[in-house]
């Protein structure tokens, strides 16, 4: 019978990531520090009918050692998640065995699903005239597949499930993983998000929404024209502090708190009140006063409405301290990776706390009076970061905010 640990401190002991900026968390962070842009032309010949063919694409996958019989059961979003999870587990120094596997689990957020398998199926039937599709089409495309694949590849038999809440999926997955640890259902949880949306059907859908930038993503800049989609995955290893200390784990930072809310308003248009509630709930859960936060990794998609409303929400939550905050949107570098965004952005927050460096908002060209916070334009800045907040605000009006702080 499990014991509850509602007051247990949760720490981060491993980071894993893959996106257009790099094929591991360290490479991603170095690219962020340098203000490197991963956005460019998408190298997919099948996208010839897509008007905007700009994205943050992973040009080559690293050697992952996954055997072929498992690869054929995976869509790209699952493979990216498994790669990131392997890196995170290795950094955490965790060995999964028969004695501890049942106390280790995974929660992975996705914004869409295995669309590669779906498009292959439609092409087989409607274009090639076949009367059957691939035998693994269903397990490849289901939204819970990345979490299940991580559990099978790494032998985790504790709580394992997927969550999906559009662009807030990764932060919701992290919040759900924290719950499992606080409830005593697990000692270790892998959490994060993954998505691979640079596919014809998904891009045509986003094209119809008329929110895609034609060239690059310029969050908070007055001349911003919209978001740029990217692909990637990010996974963190979360542990109860006492468990991490007992095994001598490397503690990278403390997962201080989470905050969730819903706008209950419009399926696509954001509100001011929902993000405000989520940020306040996160600070309360973390036991942080507004003036204890030094950095906010903004949702910062580069759309006119989102950036303006997020600026106002930050001002409402942080009051006069908002003028002293460092804010940035790393989506300007790795694109909007949908369900993976929050997890990739958590890599930025953890390292900002550890190294005292604020990653920049690149592509910034012109100040917007309605986005008048310090958005760290174009160049990283050094400053002490006691605590950092990561915002994710999604279609459907679902908001999830995560706070990390220096471990002491």
Q: Which of the residues are catalytic?
A: 167, 299, 336
Q: How far apart are CA 178 and CA 174, in angstroms?
A: 6
Q: Are 119 and 200 in contact (CB under 8 A)?
A: yes
Q: If you search the block for the tokens 């993954």, which residue do you land on?
A: 194
Q: How far apart are CA 311 and CA 354, in angstroms?
A: 25
Residue 238 CA to its chain's centroid (Å): 15
Q: Are 300 and 333 in contact (CB under 8 A)?
A: no
Residue 397 CA to its chain's centroid (Å): 17
In sequence order, what are the beta bridge partners of 192?
Answer: 108, 235
Q: What is the H or E stretch that residue 382 is in?
A: strand 381-382
Q: How far apart are CA 20 and CA 29, in angstroms?
A: 12
Number of Cβ within a 10 Å radius of residue 138: 13
Q: How far apart are CA 297 and CA 360, in angstroms?
A: 10
């Amino acid at each position: 019978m499990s014991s509850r640990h509602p007051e247990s401190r949760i720490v981060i002991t491993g980071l894993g990531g893959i996106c257009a900026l790099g094929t591991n968390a360290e490479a991603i962070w170095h690219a962020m520090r340098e203000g490197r842009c991963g956005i460019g032309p998408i190298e997919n010949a099948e996208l010839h009918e897509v008007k905007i063919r700009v994205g943050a694409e992973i040009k080559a996958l690293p050697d992952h050692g996954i055997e072929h019989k498992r690869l054929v059961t995976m869509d790209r979003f699952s493979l990216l998640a498994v790669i990131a999870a392997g890196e995170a587990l290795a950094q955490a120094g965790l060995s999964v065995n028969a004695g501890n596997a049942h106390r280790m689990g995974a929660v992975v957020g996705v914004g869409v699903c295995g669309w590669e398998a779906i498009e292959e199926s439609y092409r087989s039937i409607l274009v090639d005239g076949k009367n059957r599709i691939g035998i693994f089409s269903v397990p490849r495309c289901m939204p819970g597949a990345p979490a299940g694949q991580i559990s099978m590849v790494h032998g985790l038999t504790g709580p394992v499930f997927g969550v999906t809440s559009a662009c807030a999926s990764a932060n919701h997955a992290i919040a759900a993983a924290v719950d499992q640890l606080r409830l005593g259902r697990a000692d270790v949880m892998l959490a994060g998000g993954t998505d691979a949306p640079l596919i014809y059907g998904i891009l045509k859908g986003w094209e119809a929404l008329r929110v895609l930038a034609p060239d690059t993503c310029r969050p908070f800049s007055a001349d911003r024209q919209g978001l740029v989609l990217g692909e990637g995955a990010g996974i963190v290893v979360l542990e109860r502090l006492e468990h991490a200390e007992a095994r001598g784990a490397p503690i990278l930072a403390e997962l201080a708190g989470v905050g969730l809310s819903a706008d209950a308003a419009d399926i696509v248009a954001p509100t001011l009140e929902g993000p405000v509630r989520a940020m306040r709930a996160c600070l309360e859960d973390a036991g942080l006063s507004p003036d204890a936060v030094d950095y906010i990794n903004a949702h910062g998609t580069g759309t006119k409405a989102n950036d303006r409303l997020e600026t106002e929400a930050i001002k409402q939550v942080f009051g006069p301290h908002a003028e002293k905050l460092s804010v940035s949107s790393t989506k300007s570098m790795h694109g909007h990776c949908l369900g993976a965004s929050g997890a990739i952005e958590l890599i930025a927050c953890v390292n900002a706390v550890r190294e005292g460096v604020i990653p920049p908002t690149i592509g910034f060209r012109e100040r917007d009076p309605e986005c008048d916070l310090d958005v760290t334009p174009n160049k990283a800045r050094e400053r002490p970061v006691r605590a950092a907040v990561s915002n994710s605000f999604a279609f459907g009006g679902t908001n999830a905010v995560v706070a990390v702080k220096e471990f002491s």
